[in-house]
A and B are shown apart, each in its own frame.
Chain A
Amino acid sequence: MSFQTSLRFGFNFFLLVVFIYAAWHATGFTDLARYMPLFAATSAAVFMVLLLIKDYVKWRRVGYIAADETMGTATLGHVEDDQTDRSAPEDGAVAEDRSTDRAILARAGIIWAWILGYILAIYVAGIPAGTVIFLVLYLKFQSRLGWGAVAIGTVGILALTEALKGALNLEYPPYLLQYVLPLG
C-alpha cells in the first residue's frame, strides 16, 4: 500500500472518529444550539462510513486510491497519476514509485521544519528579528542564493512589513525576549 493510500485511509478513519465524537458531544448542547451541529456531525459520520467502504472496494480492485483533487501541484497525488496495474507490478516500477514518494515526502518534511522553525523564531525573537533569521538561513542554505540576493530579499521584506504595519495599523505578536530585545 503506497504512502498516499495509507494516509487517505488513516485520515478517513481519523475523521470518522472526530465526527462521531462531535455528534456525541452535540447531544449535550441546549436545544437551540444542538440541531445543526448534531445534523452536520451525524450526516458527516454516515458519509465517512460510505466513503471508507467505497475507498476499500476501489483499493481491492485497482490497488491504490489516486487523489481526486490533483491540482497539478499536489505533492503526492501527482506521483500516483499513472494507472498502476495491480496484477502485474514490475518490481522496478514499484520501487521507483516508492523512492519518488520518499524523496518528495522528505522535501515536504523539510519545508514543514522550516515553517516550524520560523514560528519558533518569532516566538522567541519577534517578527522583525525572527524574519531576518529565517530568511537569511532559508535563502542561503535552502534556496542557495548569494549573499547579495539574501540581503536584498531580507531588507525588502522587512521594509514591506514595516510599511504595511504603519499604513494598516497592524500589530506584531508578543515574544519571549521582548523586554531584552524590543524590536517589534
Chain B
Amino acid sequence: MLETGLEALTLILQPERLLFMAAGVCVGLVVGVMPGLGGTVGMSILLPFVYGMDPFSGVALLIGMAAVVHTSDTFPSVLLGVPGSSGSQATVMDGYPLAQQGQAGRALGAAFTASLIGGIFGAIVLFGVIAVARPLILALGNPELFMLALFGLSIVAVLSQGSLIAGLTAGLGGMLFAYIGAAPAAAEIRYTFDIIYLYNGIPLALIALGLFAIPEMVDLVAADRAIARESKITAGRLDGVRDVFRNKWLVLRNSALGTAVGCIPGLGGSVVDWFAYALTRRTVRDTSQFGKGDIRGVIGPEAANNAKEGGTLMPALLFGIPGSGTTAVLLGGLILLGLQAGPSMLEDDLDVTLSVAWTLALANVLGATLCVVLSRQVSKLALVPAKRLVPFLLVVVVLAAYQASRHWGDIFMLLLLGVLGWVMKNVGWPRIPFLIGFVLAVPVERYLHLSMSLHGYGLFTRPIVVIVAVLILLLIFGRPLASLWRARQEQKSMQPSSR
C-alpha cells in the first residue's frame, strides 16, 4: 500500500500532471471567488475537457479544482460580506467585521492557513481510510453495492434542502433521465422517440452544466444585486498565519469535524460550516467577540470546510456514493477516464485512488500559497460584478458542452436542461438529488441485474443488504413518523387531565 502510494506520488509529480493540477487549482480559485458558482459548476465546466486524458492527468485537473474552491471563496466572504460559496457562510460572521475594522489581511491570512491545514488533514485521513477500509470494501458484492447506491440516493434526497418528497422525486427524475438511451442489461433503446442523438443517452456534463451553471448565470444577472461596500486588503496576513498556529488545537478539532461530517452524503458545505462555527464557540474561552470580529470565528469554519473535501471523497471513491453535486460530477469524470468507483478503485486502480489523496494535499498547498501571494490580484475578481463575468462564462460553458459528444444536440440539450434547472431552482426543487439520481441510476440497474442473475431473490436475505434496507426505510419514513408522534404527544399534553 505504501509502495503504491509512493508510486502514485511519483506519477503526480510529473510536470505534465502538475500543470493539469495547477490549471484545476486556477479554475477552482476563480470559481470560488465568484459568489453563486461553487464546486459543482466548476467541475461541470472541466468535465468535458477530460475526454481522452490519462487517468492521472484527469484526476489532477478535477481534484485540483475541487480542493481549492473553499479556499478562495473566503475573498468575497471577508471583503464583501457575501459568501463565495455555501461553505463560507459562517466565515462572513467574523471575517467581514474584521475587514471593516481594517484587518482584512489578517482574516484572509488566517483563513488561507486554516484552509491549507484542514485540506491536508482531510487528505491524510482519506489516505488512511483507503488503507484501512480496503479489505472491507473488497468483500462487498453486487447486492451490497446495489443497496448502498440506493442508500446514497435516499440520504441525499432526505438531507437536501427542501421537502423530502421533492428530494426523492427529483432523485427519481434524475434516474429516469439516465435511462434514456441503450439499456445496460438488455438490447433495448429507451425513451429516445427515434431521435438518434439520444441513443447514447444524455452526457453527464450537460446535466451538470444545464442544471447548475446556466441557472446560476441567469439569476446572477437577473437579480442585479448591488455589491456591498467592499473592504480593501490590508497588511497583516502573517498575523493571521500566527493566529492559526496559536489556535492549533482549534484547527485540528474543526478539521476532524469537517472530515467526519463530509463522509455523510448529503450534508453539504453550509452544514459543515455552521457546525464548525458552533463547535468553535462552544469550545473556546471568551466568546464575547464572536460575530464582531473574532479571528477564531474565521479559523474554525475555514479549517472544517476544506477538510470536508477529504471526507466527501470517501463514500464517493469507495462505494460510488456521491454525497454532493461536486462528487457526483467527479464520479462521471472518473467514468470518462475509464475508472469505476467502488471496489475496483482499491484493486486495479489503487494507484489512481491514492493519487486523489496526494492531489488533494498538493492542491491545497498550491491554492493557499497562490491566495496568499496573489491576494490583491485574486481579490479584484471578487470585486467585479458577476454580471460582467457571466458572458465570458457562457462562452466557456457552451464550448465545454459541445465537447460532450460533439453534436449540435449537445448545445440544444444544454439549453433545455438550463431552462429545466432554472425553473427547478426558482420553484424550490432541489437539483442535487436529480444529479445524483442520474449518476447512480445505471450502476443501480447494473448491480440489480447482476445480483438477480447470481443470487435471485436470495440477495434480499444477505445481512448487509437487510441492514441497509432498514436504514433506507428509517431515513425515508423516520422523519414523517417522528413528526406524527410528536404532534400526538403535544395533543395529549394539551388535553386537560382528568382526576
Interface residues of A in 51-107 (CB under 8 A from B): 51, 54, 65-78, 104-105, 107
Tally of contact residues, B, Cβ under 8 A: 69
Mask of B380-409 contacts with A, CB within 8 angstroms, 1/0: 000000011011101110110011001010
Return the CB mask of A135-147 against B: 1 if under 8 Å, else 0. 1001100110100
Minimum CB distance partner of B432 in chain A: A69
Q: In the bound complex, do residue B169 and residue A48 qualify as a contact, i.e. CB atoms below 8 Å apart? A: yes
Contacts of B402 in A (CB 8 A): 171-173
Contact of B388 (CB < 8 Å), options: A4, A118, A143, A170: A143
- How far is B449's CA from A41's CA once the two chains are assembled, in angstroms? 18
Identify which of A26, A131, A142, A174 contacts B395 (C-beta below 8 A).
A131
A122 at the interface (CB under 8 A from B): yes
Chain A 124-156 residues near chain B, CB threshold 8 A: 127, 131, 134-135, 138-139, 142-143, 145, 153
Determine if B429 and A41 form an interchain contact, defined as CB atoms under 8 angstroms apart. no
Residue in B83, B161, B415 whose beta carbon sits within 8 Å of that of A115 in the complex: B415
Q: Tell me if B36 is interfacial: C-beta within 8 Å of chain A.
A: yes
11 new A-B pairs (CB below 8 Å) besides A36-B441, A171-B402?
A7-B423, A35-B448, A37-B179, A47-B169, A67-B428, A68-B428, A75-B426, A77-B428, A78-B223, A111-B221, A139-B388
Query: Contacts A73-B36, A115-B394 known; A170 to B425 CB distance under 8 Å?
Result: no
Residues of A within 8 A of B219 (CB): 73-75, 108
B80 to chain A, nearest CB (A): 13
Q: A161, B165: Cβ atoms under 8 Å?
A: no
Residues of B within 8 A of A75 (CB): 218-219, 222-223, 426
Which residues of chain B (184-215) have a CB below 8 Å from chain A? 185-188, 190-191, 214
- Is there an interface contact between B399 and A164, defined as CB atoms closer than 8 Å? yes
The smallest beta-carbon distance between A4 and chain B, in angstroms, is: 6
Chain B residues within an 8 Å CB radius of A43 = 168, 172
- Contacts A65-B428, A118-B398, A143-B387 given; indicate if A171 touches B163 (C-beta within 8 A): no
Given contacts A47-B168, A71-B86, A119-B415, A36 and B179 within 8 Å (CB-CB): yes
Those of B421-473 within 8 Å (CB) of chain A: 422-431, 441, 444-445, 448-449
Per-position 1/0 for B313-335, Cβ under 8 A of A = 00000000000000000000000
Contact of A104 among B49, B223, B392 (CB under 8 A): B223
Q: Which residues of A contact B390 (CB under 8 A)?
A: 111
Interchain CB contact under 8 A, B191 and A22: yes
Closest beta carbon of chain A to B212's beta carbon, Å? 10
Known A-B contacts A66-B428, A115-B394; A108 and B444 likewise in contact (beta carbons under 8 Å):
no
Q: How far is the CB of A113 from chain B (nearest CB, A)?
A: 11
Residues of B within 8 A of A131 (CB): 395
What is the interface residue range for chain A against chain B?
Answer: 35 or more
The yes or no answer to A17 lying at the interface (CB within 8 A) is no
Would you give the shortest CB distance from A177 to chain B, in whole angstroms? Answer: 15
Complex Cα gap A32–B445 (Å) = 10
The minimal Cβ–Cβ distance linking A56 to chain B, given in whole angstroms, is 13
With A and B bound together, what is the CA distance between A23 and B441 in angstroms? 16
- Which listed residue (B176, B185, B222, B424) contacts A108, Cβ 8 A? B222
- Complex CA–CA separation, A174 to B175 (angstroms): 32
- Quick one: given A40-B179, A112-B218, A139-B391, are A69 and B162 in contact (CB under 8 Å)? yes
Q: Please, which residues of chain B bring their CB within 8 A of the CB of A11? A: 423-424, 427, 429
A68 and B162 within 8 A (CB):
yes
- Is B220 an interface position by the 8 A CB rule? yes
Can you name the residue of chain A whose Cβ is closest to the Cβ of B50?
Answer: A168
B172-A168 in contact (CB<8A) = no
Q: Say yes or no: B411 contacts A173, CB within 8 Å.
A: yes
Q: Is A181 an interface residue (CB 8 A)?
A: no
The residues of A that contact B97 with a CB separation of less than 8 Å are none
Q: Within 8 Å of chain A (Cβ to Cβ): is B216?
A: yes
B166 contacts A by Cβ under 8 Å: yes
